[in-house]
Amino acid sequence: MTDFTESAERVALRAAVRALASRYGHEYFEAKARAGEKTDELWAEAGRLGYLGVAVPEEYGGGGGGIGDLAAVCEELAAAGCPMLLMVVSPAICGTVIARFGTPSQKRRWLPRFADGSAKMAFAITEPDAGSNSHRLATAIRRDGDGWVLSGGKHYISGVDEVEAVLVVARHVDDSGQRLLPSLMVVPTDAPGFSYRHIPMDLVSPEKQFTCFFDDVRLPADALVGSEDGGLAQLFAGLNPERVMAASFATGMARRALDQASAYARTRKVWDTPIGAHQGVAHPLAQCAIQVELARVMTQKAAALYDSGEDRAAGEAANMAKYAAGEAVAASVDQAIQVHGGNGLASEYGLGSLLAASRLSRIAPVSREMILNYVAQHTLGLPRSY
């Protein structure tokens, strides 16, 4: 994208994904989530149609597009009532990292299956005692002959029960116990010594959250992605797309909430007048619509910068986009519920289940406070506050 008009190809992609997701819809998605089941049918069909692989290089069976194309897929799925969290993780973070830094063998093994949806991979960076501070990661890698040994744990890792492997961020430890630079390791979920425990959540989602434990997990030499000292570059290469995708995930949910609220406000009458005719109802919805569109524009900018190789500028824009989208979806869902009155929390309307999901967008994958810290320091040049 070189201006504020999306290409004809992306517009067509959005329409095709919208048509697919509409055949499943919110009722399908929520029924699966409440039953503790996965949205396997939707994921598989999206993979077969090429939507999950739009950003995978063509030589590996993908569409050869950019993160902006994948973000469009994510947004349209969410707008149709099917916000699939693993889209933010598997094809975006893991797929991007392996496409840019993986060995030829890793690319051959994973990228074609990311493209067709037959493989999923989780991403593990968060630790209980580190939070957003990646410099305090305690999960450690040490050499063991020709291979590696991984020890430690991760917290709030999405979808571990439905993936084939986890891309783990850990720090190298030398013979003296000194912690060195981080690296990314591909860890199969069936590796001896790897276990995980479900974290019960009030969030209504097919994707569950887990604590992961690595009890001296032995890994082959080719579990390492890229070079031993390249972890930081790889990490940011994955985190910028994560923020772009998280923003699209949020704006998609916000669009759905606003569409539903607007339809309700047009048809719900009190004293013979549609409630949407009253400024007390109309203006708050209009303000939310403005917030959502501003967030979408910043998301497009971040994706365009990333796809053009401007990683540093993309980092700033992606953080801003994620912040704006999180605020927009929280406000939009809250206002949509308010417009519906008591119906806003009735299961029939499906907005109550969006409440926790929208609130999560202000917390994960990076909190609004850490984004404000980033912008204060890197955009405004203010002294570091932490």
pLDDT digits (tens, 9 = 90+) for 246-259: 999 999 999 999 99
Write down the pLDDT at residue 2. Answer: 54
Residue 328, pLDDT above cutoff 90: yes
Tell me if residue 65 falls in helix, strand or coil: coil
Distance CA 375, CA 367 (A): 13
Write down the pLDDT at residue 234. Answer: 83
Write down the pLDDT at residue 355. Answer: 94
The per-residue pLDDT of the chain, averaged, comes to 94
Ranges of H-type helices in the chain: 8-34, 40-48, 67-79, 86-87, 95-101, 104-116, 231-267, 279-307, 311-340, 352-360, 368-374
Give me the residue label for tokens 């991403």: 123
* Mean pLDDT to the nearest integer, 332-337: 98
* Mean pLDDT to the nearest integer, 186-190: 98
If DSSP states are collapsed to H, E and C, what string results for 155-192? EEEECHHHCCEEEEEEEEECCCCCEEEEEEEEEECCCC
Write down the pLDDT at residue 270. Answer: 93
Query: Quick one: pLDDT band at residue 78, thresholds 50, 70, 90?
Result: very high
Indicate the pairing of strand 179-188 with strand 165-173: antiparallel
Distance CA 127, CA 11 (A): 39
CA angle 386, 366, 353 (to 5 degrees): 140
Length of the chain, in residues: 386
Residue 232, pLDDT above cutoff 80: no
pLDDT tens-digit series, residues 88-100: 999 999 999 999 9
Residue 55, pLDDT above cutoff 60: yes
* Mean pLDDT to the nearest integer, 340-366: 94
Are the beta carbons of 253 and 203 closer than 8 angstroms? no
First to last CA, the chain: 36
- pLDDT higher at 35 or 236: 35
- pLDDT higher at 177 or 110: 110
pLDDT tens-digit series, residues 5-15: 899 999 999 99
Query: Quick one: pLDDT band at residue 132, thresholds 50, 70, 90?
Result: low
Residue 101, pLDDT above cutoff 70: yes
Task: Please give the single-letter amino acid code of residue 130.
Answer: A
pLDDT tens-digit series, residues 287-320: 999 999 999 999 999 999 999 999 889 999 999 9
DSSP helix, strand, coil percent of the chain (3-state; round to 5):
55, 15, 25
Write down the pLDDT at residue 112. Answer: 98
* Mean pLDDT to the nearest integer, 160-174: 95
Write down the pLDDT at residue 131. Answer: 65
Write down the pLDDT at residue 237. Answer: 79
CA-CA-CA-CA torsion sign (195, 197, 203, 204): positive
Query: Quick one: pLDDT band at residue 368, thresholds 50, 70, 90?
Result: very high
Distance CA 342, CA 377 (A): 43
